Structures are given as C-alpha cells and as structure tokens.
Structure 1
Amino acid sequence: MKLTTITKGLSKFALRTSVALPLVLAPAVSVTVLEAAGVSAVFASAQAQEQKKPSKQKTRKVPAMREAAYKKLEKAQEAADAEDWPGALAALKDMDASKKRYNGYEVAQMYNFFGVVYYSTERYKQAIPYFKKVLDQGEKNLPVALEVGTLFTLAQLYFVTEDYRQAVNYLNKWFKVSNRITADSYALRAQAYNQIGNQDKALADINIAVSMYEKEGKTPKEGWYGLQQYVYFERTDYKKVAGVLEKLVQYYPKPVYYKTLAAMYGELKRDKDQLHMMEAAYLTGALEKDKDLLNMGYLFMGHEMPYKGAKVIAKGLKENKIPRTAKNLETLAQAYQMAQELQKAIPQLEAAARLSDKGEIYSRLAGIYLDLDQNENAISMGKKALAKRGIKRVDTLHIVLGMANANLKRYDAALKSLKIARKDERSEKFARQWIAFVEGEMEREKQLAI
C-alpha cells in the first residue's frame, strides 16, 4: 500500500529535477481522525477536495532542490511507500544529521516529510514540532502552497490533539494567507472557538458558515445548526433557539428536534405551537418516556382535547411505557371524565383506588356513582374510602353517603352520615338542608303508615 493510500487527501508535487520524486506536501488530516475529534467527515473530505483544485494562490521563488538532497529524500520515500516507517525515519534522521549541507527549501521538505511519517503512524503530537519547523524556514525558503498547507495541517492536528487554543491560532494564520476559505473553514474555526469558551466568535463564524450555504441555496450541515442552537441556548435566547430548531425539523426531521422545539415553544409561551409540535414529536416516536407521554396527555387536556389526552395515556399504559400507578390511572380517569366518558373513567378510578394507600379515590368514586344514580355502589365506595382513610374532605363524603342512603330510603343511616357532615362548617348549611329533608320524608312516611 502506498503512502498516498493511507493518508487520504495528501497532495503531491513533482520536483523540477532530472528525476521526478513524488514527495508529499503537508497532509490534510484524515476523515477518521477528524471524526474522532468531533469534526464532520464532510468537512474533512471537502477540504481534501479543495486542495486538489487548481489554486490562484500567488507563487514565490525559492531555492532549487539539488541532487544530494533529492537522493536522501528519495530513500525516505521508497521506505514510506513500502510502509517501512522505521526505515523512512532512519533515512530522514540521516539527512537531518547533516542538514547544514542543505538549503532552507531542502530542509523544509525534510521536516515536512518527518511530519508526514509521524502523522501516518498516528503519532500526531510528534508530528506537530516537525511541521512547525517547516514554517521556521521562513518565507524565502517555502513555496506558498507548502506554507499555507502546513498552517492548515497544524490547525487540524492541534484540533485532533485537543489543543484548541493553538488550533485557533493556526486557523487564524491560515485564514490570512489562504485563498480557499469556505463555509467549512468557518465551521471548523467556530468549533475551535467554542471549545475554548469564546462563544461570541464561535457564533459569528458558524453564522457565516450557515449564511454562505443558504445564499448558495444549499442546506447547512446538521452539526452547524447544532452549534448555533447550543450557543443560543447558553445565552438563553430561546427565540433564536426555536428558529434554529425549526430549520432542523425541516431539514433533519429527527424526533429529538421535534421534542426540543416543543419545549422551546413552551418557554416562549407559544402554547398552541407547543401542542402541535409535541403532537408531531409523539407521531414520530420521539416521546417514549412516561414523563413525556403524560405531559402530552396534560397538554391535550389543557387545550380542551381531553379525549386525545386519554388516548395517549391509555396507549402508554397498555405498552408499559407509563407505569400502572394509582396516580397515572387517576390521570387517565380524569381525562375520560373531562371528555364526558364516565363509563370509561370508572374502571380506571377503581383500579387506581385499589392501588392507592389512601381512600381519596374511593371517595371520588362514591360521588360519581351518586351522580349516576347508582346508590348502592356509591355507599360501597364510601365505606371503602372511610376504611382506608386519608380523605381530604370527609364531610363531603358523608354528604354523599347521606344522600345515597336517603335515595334508598335508609333514613337512619342517612341521618347518621349527614349529622357527621354538619359538624364541619364547610358542609353545615347543606347538611342541615338534607337533614330537614330526610326528617320530613320520615315523618311523611310515618303519617302514610297510620
């Protein structure tokens, strides 16, 4: 395998000598390496393609490559082509030992080759000093292409080795001399700025990158929008976050973006938009957690669509995404009640009541059964509620029991419950009215019996 196969994007040049030696220029760091550092593969490949295009970069006259230097580098090249990296380094070290014999251009090529070999063997930190030595030879000894390429290579290597300050440093130098600045270039520098905490410059650069693509009618990359979203969120600029997320939903419709956009609409008090986006998130499968599904149900209930809310919660319970707890079953029952679906609400409330360690739900059921004129069930639920205790309004429950017993003409039991309810000032007036009614009924029936 040739050196050029291993290091994708390595550009070559032919020396203007009697024999053409395909020495490598500074490499573009490979797609795999940049991906590992969090830089998009698309960026790496785009930069490699850019380096292959004809350049309008100005030229610079430098010293010529002489035969003696050429032969030393040729030996290193042959070893590199055979993937004999120790052999390549040995040849270069031999040349380095007598570097006083060579001019600045030849020395620059030697150090460049050192950097390439260390890069090719994934010793990135060891490659960096050699590429810096290339630049140390000065403009008079460096072709413009070599200088510009080396600056960019150093920027990438510092990025890969997580020295983001130096990555920014060399990117800024490269920006000043390169005629190949693209949207991807701004995106890379934006990431580096973000890594060192300079969010102002990170945002400025990523906005330029996005704008450049949009002006060309191209869809900006997902990661670019992601960086915009992150910085705006850190600034609590939720309006801008929502704007970016709207683009992500449009161009990269992933469930997480629907869900996050719904949350942003909630922050911005755009309730209807929040509901619609949450429903979209639900339909795309973004809502899998019980909390999210319950929130979806509450949203529907809050927007006077309780039956839709009930359907979401019921489905979540059936699929075991929502735990079958007393509280969750009670919420489902509440949704059915709001939708005027009492026959569907009752079984859920009864199941919730059995799971609850308090009698409150049984107390609610007693009231529902009374409204449905199912007095025996009302009394049964009321007794279970009293047995479990933990009832918020015992007085109200005794009113229900009094009314249910009165409806069944069980006047003694009715009076007993109503008199207990009368002791609570919140129910005293209503209890007295019912006591008077029950006593009147008892007297009327007594008269009829005579």
Structure 2
Amino acid sequence: MKLNTTQFLKSAALAVPLALSPMAATVVLDAFGVQSSFAKAKAQDEAPQRKTRKTPALSQPVFKKLAVVNALVNPPEDDEDAKPDFDAALAELKKLEAKDAKKWNEYELANLYNTYGFVYYSLENYTQAVKYYKLVIAQSPNIPLGLELSTLYTVAQLQFVSEDYKGALESLQAWFKQQDPLFINADNYALLSQAYYQNKDFDNSLKNIYKAIDLYKEKGKQPKENWYSIALAIEFERENYKEVAGILEILVRTFPKPSYYKQLAGIYGLIGKENDQIYLTDATYVAGMVDKEQEALNLVFMMMGEGYSFRAAKILEKGMDSELIEKTSKNLEHLSNAWLISQETEKAITALTEAAQISNKGDLYARLAGLYVDDNQEKKALEIADKALKLGDINRKDSLYVSIGMANANLGRWQPAINAFREAAKDKRSRAFAENWMKYCQGELEREQKLNS
C-alpha cells in the first residue's frame, strides 16, 4: 500500500484554487474604495472583520497604465473573439517596469508585481511567477494585509507545484503565523499537512490532516478522499494497523473502490480479524473486484485454511475457466486437493490427471494412483502406479507401494499385494500399516491355497 506522493500531492495542490489570481484592475478598484456587490456582501457577512492597514495611495496615472495591461489579460466579455494575450501583457509590463516603476510607491509596485505574477502563472512559468509574487510581499507593510497573505499563500501553492517543498512549507508556516485563526479553514490545514509530508515531518503532517478532517466533520461536510489517503499512508508506514483499518472502513463506506476493499481485507488479516478478512475478500470476489491471479489464489488459500474447501474449489475452477487463474500443474493440484477434501473424488481425479499430464512427474502420478484406489478403480490405479514408477522422482515411494498393495489386495491378487506391502514396509512411516496388511494378505493367500489343494 503506497502512495505516489509526489504526483498525488502535486495534483492536490493544483486542485486547490490559487489564492491569488486577481487582475490588476480588481486591486486598483479596491484601492479607490470601489467594490463589487459581491465583495460588499461578503464583507458584510464576515465577522469579525479582517485587520486592515494604511497603505500609500495609488495614483490615477498608474491606474490607467495598469488598466492597459488588464485589458490585454482580461478582454471585454462582449467580444467573443477576443482572447487573453499574455505575451503582449508581459511586454507591456516590462516597459512599465523599465520606464515608470522607479517612481512608484510600494503599493503601486505591489500592483505591478502582482500582475506580473499572474501573467507568468498564466504562462505556466511558475519560477518567474513565484519571483514576482515574492516581490509583492516584499512591499509589506505598505500593502493591504489581505493582499500580503493571499500572495504568500499563492507562493506556497506554486512552490508546491514546482516541487520546492521546503520553500512551500516555509511559506505556509509564515502564512499561518500571520493569518487570523478565524480565517484558517480545513483546506489550509490539508495543504500544510501535504507540505509537512513531503518534508518527511510525519508527526505534523498527521496532526494537520486530522485537523482538516475534524473541521469538515464539525460542519457536517464529508472530508475529502485524498485527506484520508494522507493519513492512511502515514499510519500504515508506522504500522498502526488498527488506525489504518478505521480509515479504510471510512473509505470503503464513502469512496467505495476495489483497492480500498482489498487493502481493508489485508489489514483485517494483520489485526487478527481473519473471519472479517475472508468475508470481505469473498465479497470483493463476488462483486467482480478480484482481477489478479494472486488475489484469487489468496482467497482460495484462505477458504481452504478455514475449511471452506468446496468454495475454494469453485473459485479455482471458475478462475481457470475464465483464464484469471492459469492452468498450471500446481494450481491444478490445489484444485484436486480442494475437491478431494470436499469428497468430490471424481473431480479430484480429473484435476490431478491434468496436473500430472502437464508436469509429467512420477510424484503426481503416484498420488493419482492413490485416488484411483480410493475410488475403487483398482486396475486404473495399477496402470497409473506403473507409469509413476517408470517416471521416478517420487517423494513417498512407500505411499505408492501401499496404493499398489491395496489395489492388488482388492483384486484378490495376494502375492503381488504382499510384494508391494513388503516394499512399503521398508519406510518406517508406512511400516506398521504395511505389515498389518501383509499379514492379512498372507492369511488370505494361504486360505486360498488350501481351498485349491
């Protein structure tokens, strides 16, 4: 269970709307005390009000020059064919910076640099965007506090996207230090958590992501999936498996994905909830979420371990028919064992026959001979046993000779049975059983000889 954290967190930062993407004209209008109806309504709803600063005035000539740039970046809405011309806007900004900016006060410069930053951001030149947004901040304290804070937050986001995680963390820490706690929201804590994560400060990352989650819950909102994913990655890395299970249970309920079901099933196994592991894994199988051979085999082995051999056999059989599970000799052996435990001897023989044909090893044919004896097919058992002996490489020759002895005994072939049991008795693992059968066969042979004399 691992996160591709670099790409995941980078996209997460982009998913948060940039805190600062205003056009120069918006800032200029605010400087002259002109607000849109939306801004007025928002201001009235906010309580308490944000702190304000006294800033230098923004002159009418500067306003007009910046308005020219704004027109290039934000063409009139009634002109459907007009498109933003960021290259032209950039050229105009460079002219202003070279000719006029030396005479401007800090607030006027902040507007210039803010526009620069937005143009470079729009051109996806994040390095230059960060440079100019930092120049906006450098004009503090002669700029509105809101502008400084929003710019600082934007710098953090852009540093994050540029994979400057150390810089992003420093910018966010500075933003949190200056921002009124009443205006810090869950998304802010989530971004701070991501920055800490990338800087390998997992304690602070976990603390802040849980803070983000709690804030959303307090408002009756559903925390975001990627927030839980951050907590999940850290808790898993620390082997806090009970916490991991709790997070995955939430993810399964709210963002049901096959990966979460599979991960949760695995975690249940680690925390001693084997029954829950089996039921959940089987549920994912029934729901069609099991799409890898090893996942299906793991379910088979769990079923076998808990005594659900018939279910295991059906999963194996269906998996092979659908080609999810490869028909290897080993997998067919598993199928044969499952059928045998389920007392489906005929099906067990079919599966083991195919396994033996694929492997062409004497050991599998030896085991197959035993199955034929159990199924009262003595002649077939002897035929298969002979093939096993010819192929060799048999793990338990004593067991094979027991099968040969039993087959011959059932056919009334007492001497061949005695010979086979004598071979089996050479191995101490089968000695007692083989010797008892030798006595029985010897007795039957003598009885038969007396009857025929």
TM-score using structure 1 length: 0.87
Matched, 1:403 2:368: no
Q: Which residue of 2 aligns with 1:72?
A: 65
Q: Is the 8 A contact 1:255 1:285 kept in 2?
A: no
Matched, 1:10 2:21: yes
Matched, 1:302 2:316: no
Aligned to 1:427, the other structure's residue is in SS state helix
Partners in 2 of 1:188 and 1:18 — Cα distance? 33
Cα distance per residue 1:132-172 (max 9 Å; x no partner): 11111121x20122111111111111111110111111112
CA spacing shift, 1:366–1:53, aligned 2, 3 Å: farther
Q: Is the 8 A contact 1:73 1:91 kept in 2?
A: no
CA spacing shift, 1:84–1:375, aligned 2, 3 Å: closer
Deviation larger for 421-430 or 361-370: 421-430
Q: Which residue of 1 aligns with 2:372?
A: 369
- What number of residue pairs does the alignment pair up? 417
Partners in 2 of 1:201 and 1:254 — Cα distance? 28
- Superposed, 1:204-353 pairs within 5 Å as 204-353=207-356
Aligned to 2:276, the other structure's residue is in SS state helix
Matched, 1:58 2:62: no
Aligned to 2:290, the other structure's residue is in SS state coil
CA spacing shift, 1:101–1:416, aligned 2, 3 Å: same
Q: Which residue of 2 aligns with 1:153?
A: 154
Partners in 1 of 2:44 and 2:232 — Cα distance? 33
User: How many percent identity over aligned positions?
Assistant: 42
In the TM superposition, what is the alpha-carbon distance from 1:51 to its structure 2 partner? 11
Which of residues 338, 355, 362 is equivalent to 1:359? 362
Partners in 2 of 1:267 and 1:242 — Cα distance? 10
Q: Which runs of 4+ in 1 moved over 6 A?
A: 16-22, 50-53
Q: Which residue of 2 aligns with 1:38?
A: none
Cα distance per residue 1:365-401 (max 9 Å; x no partner): 2222222322112212211221222211111211221
Cα distance per residue 1:39-93 (max 9 Å; x no partner): xxxxxxxxxxx99986831221111111222222122223323533333223322
Partners in 2 of 1:202 and 1:208 — Cα distance? 10
Partners in 2 of 1:191 and 1:69 — Cα distance? 39
Give unpaired runs (5+ residues) of structure 1.
1-6, 23-49
Q: Which residue of 1 aligns with 2:80?
A: none
Partners in 1 of 2:249 and 2:108 — Cα distance? 54
Partners in 1 of 2:452 and 2:32 — Cα distance? 135
Q: Which residue of 2 aligns with 1:118?
A: 120
CA spacing shift, 1:16–1:214, aligned 2, 3 Å: closer
Cα distance per residue 1:406-450 (max 9 Å; x no partner): 221223322322222233333333333322322222221222123
Two-structure CA RMSD over aligned residues (Å): 2.5
In the TM superposition, what is the alpha-carbon distance from 1:19 to its structure 2 partner? 12
Aligned to 1:111, the other structure's residue is in SS state helix
Q: Is the 8 A contact 2:329 2:359 kept in 1?
A: yes
Which of residues 386, 389, 404 is equivalent to 1:386? 389
Partners in 2 of 1:307 and 1:16 — Cα distance? 75
Deviation larger for 87-96 or 165-174: 87-96
Q: Is the 8 A contact 1:155 1:168 kept in 2?
A: yes
Give unpaired runs (5+ residues) of structure 2.
1-17, 37-41, 76-83
Q: Is the 8 A contact 1:151 1:171 kept in 2?
A: yes
Partners in 2 of 1:421 and 1:15 — Cα distance? 101
Which of residues 130, 133, 137 is equivalent to 1:131? 133
Q: Which residue of 1 aligns with 2:94?
A: 93
Letter paired with 1:69: V
TM-score using structure 2 length: 0.86
Partners in 2 of 1:148 and 1:137 — Cα distance? 12
In the TM superposition, what is the alpha-carbon distance from 1:9 to its structure 2 partner? 7.4
Partners in 2 of 1:160 and 1:426 — Cα distance? 69
